[in-house]
Every structure is written in C-alpha cells, then in structure tokens.
Amino acid sequence: MATGELTAHGAVPAQRATTWAGLAGRIGLQDLPARDLDSSELQELVATIASDRASWADLVAFDDERRVYASIHRDAHVDVWLLCWTPKNDTGWHDHDTSSGAVAVVTGTLTEHNLRFGGASVATTVEAGRLFSFGPDHIHRLTGTVPQSVSIHAYSPPLWRMGQYAVGGDGVLRRQSVSYADELRPITSRAEQSHDRHAVRSADDDAGARPPEEDGHVSGLTVEEADAVRSWLEHHDFEHVSKRDGESASYGDRQDVWERAGTLIRLTRDRGQWWCDLSRTGEDVWLDVDRIAAAIGSESTVPVGRVADATGSMNARVFWALSSTLDHSP
C-alpha cells in the first residue's frame, strides 16, 4: 500500500473488514501454493478454515487469565492459528515483523485498536462473519469484546519474531522482540508474570528443589509449563519417540523425548520439577534449552518461546558450536 493510500483511505484494516462467507473454499490447506501468500490468498485461506469448524472445534476453550490459542498449520510459507477470546483477553500493542496477516472472526466480536499519537487510539469492532487483512507494516492491539469469541489467523511468511510495544509515561514508544510462540499480552503484564515466575522458583529452591545452576541446568519448568511445551511440540510436527518412568531414566523419575528433523527435545522430571534439554540425533550430548536460548539471543520470557527459538535456530553445525562452549546436561 502506498503512502498516499494510507492518507486517503485510512490505515485501519479493521475499518475495511468484509464478510468472509463468499471467500470460503477458494484456497485451503490441501492446495496451498509453494510460495508466500498474498493478501487476497490469506483472506481466502482464513475464510476456508473458519467455515470448516469440525477441523478445529475440539481446540476451542476460554480462559480469562491466559489467552487460549492453538497452531492449526505451519509450513515454510504460512502458519494458521485458532484464537479464543474473553473480554479480559488483550494482546497488547504488537507487530508481526516481516509477515502479512489476515483475521476471520468466527463467533463473537473482537476489537482492533490502532495506536495514534496525539490522541486516543482508534478502536474498531469486528463481528462474527467478517475478516480483515494487513501488511508487515501494521501495528495493532486485539481484545475480546464479548465472551466466547473465536477467530482464525493466518500469516505469511510464517511468524517467527514479533515486536511488542509500550508507551512509557514519558510518551516514548519502545519495542521488545518476542518469539511467535509467546503469549502476547500488555508488556506490563508480561513483566509481572516474569516476576511472579521468579518468585515461585525462589520458593521451590527454599523447599529443596535443585538449585538453578546445578548439573548444567539454568531453570526448571512447572507442570503447566511442561504441558505447554508438549502441546507446542505436538502441534509443530515433533514425534514423541520415547517415554521412560522410574528407575529406567538416567536421572529423575520420568523422561519424554521428542524428535523432528534430527533435533531432539527431552523433558525430564526430577524431584518434582521439569527440565528441558536439546540434542541432535546421533549425539551423546544434551544442552539446557535456556542456555541455548540465551546463547542465540532469544528474548522470550516463557519456556515455549525459548523452545521455539532454540529448535528454530538448530542444525548440526549450530549444535556442534554450542556443545563446545555450553555446559552439558546430565
């Protein structure tokens, strides 16, 4: 879109929302082109998936505290997500880095907010049956408007990094890079969540859990965080290749190992806490995912995001370089 068009027609995609029913069936997951999708194709794709409720209905759930979202499809050119909303759900201000996107509202109503300097943000409601699309230059904020709202989102090229924004009391806009697997929410809430998570781990350490730096590990996962990692692995083509309980595990009382394209992820439970490591097929070395994430510059604040960043950056050469510099896990 040219600059003149932004001025003449407005830069608020939601204000140009159209009905999606007539676009359904033109392009689906079975006949995607082997290239990135343009805006029209993204609209047709979300319309088709929105109309096929049976394919994603079992993923629908709602939570006021944490937004519910699930990956429906991801390949080299496009990824598709189901998002579930309550009126308390809020993504915060964000962009999609280099990706264009399209959103189809299936049930309920969403509100798209657009940041405007020198005045209040622009709020536009998008009701069920309507869709809108946007380019990689777009910055917005989405909130649930009515209970049990559901939407389908598609991005091309697939999301990898996103930018989250906050306007400080001094009026300065700041951007924070996050992984696509992170839960988007206002940055202040993210900071509070990080603080709460640290407090929980401090309490675990006082109760006798393994110290953070012991045995090559940086930090452990709660049961809920480990379950979130498993869910992410299942939805991103990782195969569950082994599960060991009790004395058969090399350490701890349970191990789960997942594999995709030569990259291995291991979840191990030891003394009531979960630990996450990464290796490569044929290697006898495991590296703590948090250490890998730190080494590659990941800024993700949640375990799922760090697993996504670590696995997305991994190949044999990268693993060899990291294994020669990082402490090894047992």
Per-residue pLDDT tens over the stretch 257-315: 999 989 999 999 877 788 999 999 989 899 999 888 888 877 788 888 889 988 987 88
Give me the helix-helix angle, 303-312 and 223-234, nearest 10°: 40
The C-alpha atoms of residue 279 and residue 127 are separated, in whole angstroms, by 46
List the structure tokens of 106: 């299936």
Q: Residue 79 region, left (φ>0) first, then alpha (ψ -120 to 50), else beta?
A: beta
pTM of this prediction exceeds 0.85? no
Specify the pLDDT at position 3.
33
Percent of the chain with pLDDT over 90: 47
Q: What is the spatial order of strands in the sheet that 273-280 belongs to? A: 239-245, 254-260, 263-270, 273-280, 287-288
From the centroid of its chain, how far is CA 19? 27
pLDDT at residue 320 tops 60: yes
The C-alpha atoms of residue 59 and residue 63 are separated, in whole angstroms, by 13
The C-alpha atoms of residue 4 and residue 7 are separated, in whole angstroms, by 5
Helix residue ranges, H only, the chain: 3-9, 39-51, 187-206, 223-234, 289-295, 303-312, 316-323
By the 8 A CB rule, do 29 and 73 touch? yes
Poorest-confidence range of 4-13, 23-32, 260-269, 291-300? 4-13
pLDDT tens-place string over residues 124-175: 999 999 999 999 999 999 999 999 999 999 999 988 888 888 877 777 778 8
